[in-house]
């Protein structure tokens, strides 16, 4: 088992390498001169040349890549020309809101979706099944900003129960922090619940037609135990897989949701950076998000070894 994990860990290195190369090339492949873009429209040629020297853009490509990678690995993402701070500090101050939003969303989604999926599979073909399936297609199709505005209109504008936008840090009070996150996480989690409920149902249905389910029934086992002890434990692997893959959608959704609810997190940072063509920040954020995604999928692989003994031995 440790061999398997070790190999998976090693396997993430080429992946991150490809990501790093792509991100690195991103800046270098623009049709326009990156130094000129960063310097801005009103820069003089000397300023542009100075920036080019600063960024090391006059050195050969491969050398640039190594210099850049070295800096990145030691935490130096450069300086944001737009925000006038180091990118690292920018990320530092924006990470809490994003993390809070992401965690609460995932928790909510899994706690609601898995039971719904199991229920739908158990009552395959009934009206419950149809409702869950219908809801899941709907949830998957509605853009999160549409849902977001709908919820804002309903709960914040019309009913006035919750704040329209904004974010309160934990340090300023748990209650306010939670209240600020209710609408955004509800918005974001709808897509997840849709995705996870669907996968749970599909996976459960497939497992329920396996031979060992028949064996359990032949032993006189109750339906409830058959469902949870035998079916769900075997259906868990694809479900966990889809949760892992869903993190990619989560990241994308975070970007939109933070915009809708004006939460000062990494998602908003990305959008602002793109609008301002602030390349150091864009690079750093994408690198960070990709790294997190890869790590989460690695964690998913580790969870597999817990769930499926065939991988362990």
Judged by CB under 8 A, the chain residues 131 through 150 that form the site for other proteins are 137-138, 140-143, 145-146, 149-150
Binding status of residue 182 toward other proteins by CB under 8 A: no
d(CA 246, CA 300): 12
Indicate the residue among 26 and 50 with the shorter CB distance to other proteins. Answer: 26
Q: Are 87 and 284 in contact (CB under 8 A)?
A: yes
Judged by CB under 8 A, the chain residues 56 through 115 that form the site for other proteins are none
Binding status of residue 2 toward other proteins by CB under 8 A: no
Binding status of residue 293 toward other proteins by CB under 8 A: yes
Instruction: Give residue 180's region: left, alpha or beta (phi > 0; psi -120 to 50).
Output: alpha
Indicate the residue among 51 and 282 with the shorter CB distance to other proteins. Answer: 282
* Count of residues touching other proteins (by CB under 8 A): 78
Buried b (16+ CB within 10 A) or exposed e, 274-293: eeebbbbbbbbbbbbbbeeb
Binding status of residue 263 toward other proteins by CB under 8 A: no
- Residue of 112, 182, 271, 300 interacting with other proteins (CB under 8 A): 271
| Least distance from other proteins to the Cβ atom of residue 289, Å | 6
Indicate the residue among 16 and 50 with the shorter CB distance to other proteins. Answer: 16
Q: Are 59 and 53 in contact (CB under 8 A)?
A: no
Binding status of residue 19 toward other proteins by CB under 8 A: yes
Indicate the residue among 89 and 141 with the shorter CB distance to other proteins. Answer: 141
d(CA 245, CA 296): 9
| Least distance from other proteins to the Cβ atom of residue 262, Å | 10
d(CA 129, CA 137): 12
Judged by CB under 8 A, the chain residues 196 through 235 that form the site for other proteins are 202, 206, 210-212, 214-222, 225, 229-230, 233-234
**Pairing state of beta strands 79-80 and 85-86?**
antiparallel
d(CA 77, CA 60): 20
């Amino acid at each position: 088992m440790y061999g398997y994990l070790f190999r998976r860990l090693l396997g993430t290195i080429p992946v991150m390498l490809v990501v790093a190369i792509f991100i690195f090339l991103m800046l270098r492949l623009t049709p326009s001169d990156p130094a000129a873009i960063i310097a801005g429209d009103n820069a003089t040629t000397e300023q542009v040349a100075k920036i080019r020297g600063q960024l090391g853009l006059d050195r050969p490509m491969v050398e640039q890549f190594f210099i850049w990678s070295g800096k990145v690995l030691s935490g130096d993402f450069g300086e944001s020309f737009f925000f006038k701070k180091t990118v690292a500090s920018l990320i530092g101050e924006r990470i809490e809101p994003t993390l809070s939003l992401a965690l609460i969303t995932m928790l909510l989604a899994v706690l609601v979706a898995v039971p719904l999926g199991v229920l739908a599979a158990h009552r395959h073909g009934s009206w419950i099944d149809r409702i869950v399936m219908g809801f899941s297609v709907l949830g998957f199709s509605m853009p999160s900003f549409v849902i977001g505005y709908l919820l804002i209109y309903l709960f914040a504008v019309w009913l006035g129960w919750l704040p329209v936008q904004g974010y309160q840090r934990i340090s300023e009070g748990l209650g306010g922090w939670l209240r600020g996150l209710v609408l955004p996480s509800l918005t974001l989690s709808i897509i997840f619940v849709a995705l996870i409920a669907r996968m749970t149902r599909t996976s459960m249905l497939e497992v329920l037609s396996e031979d060992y389910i028949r064996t359990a029934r032949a032993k006189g086992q109750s339906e409830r135990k058959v469902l949870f002890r035998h079916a769900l434990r075997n259906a868990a692997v694809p479900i966990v897989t889809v949760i892992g893959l869903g993190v990619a959608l989560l990241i994308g959704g975070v970007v939109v949701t933070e915009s809708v609810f004006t939460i000062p997190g990494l998602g908003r940072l990305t959008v602002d950076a793109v609008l301002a063509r602030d390349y150091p920040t864009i690079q750093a954020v994408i690198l960070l998000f990709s790294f997190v995604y890869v790590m989460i999928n690695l964690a998913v692989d580790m969870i597999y070894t817990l769930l499926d003994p065939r991988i362990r031995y």
